[in-house]
Amino acid sequence: MTDQPAEQQKSARRTPMQQRSQKRVEVILTAAAALIAEVGYEAVTTSAIAERAGTSVGSLYQFFPNKDAILHALAQNYLTDMTAMGARMFPPDVVMLDDTVIIDRTVDWLIEFESSHAGFTPIFNSPYVSPELKAAEDALKNQMVGQIERILAARLPTLNADRRRVCAQIIMTMYKGALPLALAGDDSQRDMAREELKRAVLAYLAALRV
């Protein structure tokens, strides 16, 4: 049997190492998100993240130079996940559906996203963010508002672009205001808050048609 070329041997070694490194990054990010959800953005430290992730601070610093870098990576992951989830929830033909169905999907999509991404709300509601994190935050908010704008453009074509943008932002503000109720309490209370939010958005859409 002939020996593998040196480059092939290096590549074979590199792939498992890259996979292990990626796994460690994922563990660190998961730990960071959980801690941020528990104690808030400001209180989290890299030492606490490393402890929760079961790794050393030195190992953490191999991947992230500081806390902001960890939060920026989390924000980028959230943006990727939201884009993918939005594509599933809002295919091109969604605008042809009934208002009630569209609002159901929109509210459920936003609540599902926030509830399945532990650190999302504390990170994006914190005033203490780096310029890089603020840029990621703006991109994520634009992604949310953009999906709503696309639906409004199809459902209410008489709205001009400026007003459509404002209306989409108002719907997002309604959602953010109701979110704590939709995520707190028992199942019955959460369901009630979710349905009341949908009713409020539907009423707002009806008013826009007048």
Query: What domains does the chain contain, in order, with CATH numbers?
Result: 1-65 (1.10.10.60), 68-210 (1.10.357)
Burial of 172 (0-12, 13-18, 19+ CB in 10 A): middle
Query: CB-based contacts of 77: which residues, under 8 Å, 6+ apart?
Result: 29
User: Model confidence at 128, in pLDDT bands (50, 70, 90)?
Assistant: low
d(CA 53, CA 57): 10
**Across all residues in the chain, what is the average pLDDT?**
83
Is 123 in contact with 133 (CB distance < 8 Å)?
A: yes
Q: What local confidence, expressed as pLDDT, does residue 59 receive?
A: 92
Check if the beta carbon of residue 108 is closer than 8 Å to that of residue 27: no
Instruction: Please say if the pLDDT value at position 195 is more than 90.
Output: yes
Distance of alpha carbon 71 from alpha carbon 135, whole angstroms = 12
Nearest partner of 109 among 129, 125, 86, 132, judged by Cα:
86
Q: In what helix (H) or strand (E) does residue 103 lie, and over which residues does it extend? A: helix 99-116
Q: Residues 137-191: pLDDT tens digits?
A: 788 788 889 888 988 888 888 999 999 999 999 998 998 888 888 877 788 888 8
| Residues listed for the chain | 210
Mean pLDDT confidence for 56-70: 92
- The model's pTM is 0.71
